[in-house]
Copies of this chain bind each other. A is one copy, B any other.
Amino acid sequence: MGRRSDHSRAELEALILAEGHRLMADVGFARFSAREVAKRIGYAVGTLYNVFGSYDMLLAAINTRTFELWAAHLEDRLAAPSAERIAALVEGYFSFAADNMNLWTAIYDHRLPLDMAMPEALVTRRAALTEVVVREVAAILPPETKDRAPRLARSLVATVHGHCTFALNGSFALLGETAPLEMAIARVRESLIAAGATIAD
């Protein structure tokens, strides 16, 4: 068939994704552009559209990759926890966001058009992040209430997300708060203890 480059379709997709992810990390959502990705990999803009279909789908793919790196980061922290596991989880949430601000921010900056659904495959890959938290929450809930872990875990992720957002966008600093991470950990502990969890320290 008429391909004329060194790359198979799958390789090309991976190439675009890798360079797109790099560009997003470098310049952030507002300055990201498909043209710049194309220029950096030596292809024309049209090729990116052929491979990903639209700008939105390219962004969705890039952000999904970020989700996966984020989940891996959490697992890293849990593999050699420097604190109690729940605190390590919250710290991992924060440190990934802080160390990858542009990537992390892009996840929430990008919204698909209302008439455009996230492909099932991407949904599944993104869900892995929450699943780590569900597992850890279930592990410390009393056996008879473990079925509450999914809902509680999602709610705690939301709690941490809010604190992380305000920490990184400067809202906390503006209001004089100097220890957002400690605040987030405290709120999560309170809710877990209210749910009957047993936490060390």
> Which A positions have Cβ atoms within 8 angstroms of B?
30, 105, 108-109, 111, 118, 123, 127, 130, 150-151, 154-163, 165-166, 169, 172, 174-177, 180, 183-184, 186-187, 190-191, 193-194
Contacts and interface: CB of A to CB of B under 8 A. Distances in A.
Top 3 A-B pairs, shortest CB-CB distance:
A162-B162, A158-B162, A161-B162
B159 A108 contact: no
A154 B169 contact: no
A95 B163 CA distance: 20
A150 B177 CA distance: 9
Contact of A190 (B154, B175, B191): B191
Contacts of A193: 194
A180 to B, nearest CB: 8
Contact of A169 (B105, B108, B123, B160): B108
Contacts of A105: 111
A175 B130 contact: yes
Nearest to A159: B159
A154 to B, nearest CB: 5
Contact of A194 (B166, B183, B194): B194
**Which of A123, A154, A160 has the most chain B CB within a 10 Å cutoff?**
A154
Q: Which of A111, A123, A177 has the most CB of B within 10 A?
A: A111
Contacts of A191: 186-187, 190-191
B130 A154 contact: no
B194 A177 contact: no
A125 B38 CA distance: 43
A165 B163 contact: no
Contact of A154 (B30, B118, B175, B194): B175
14 contacts: A30-B111, A130-B175, A154-B177, A155-B183, A157-B166, A158-B159, A158-B180, A159-B162, A159-B163, A160-B162, A161-B165, A162-B162, A162-B165, A187-B191
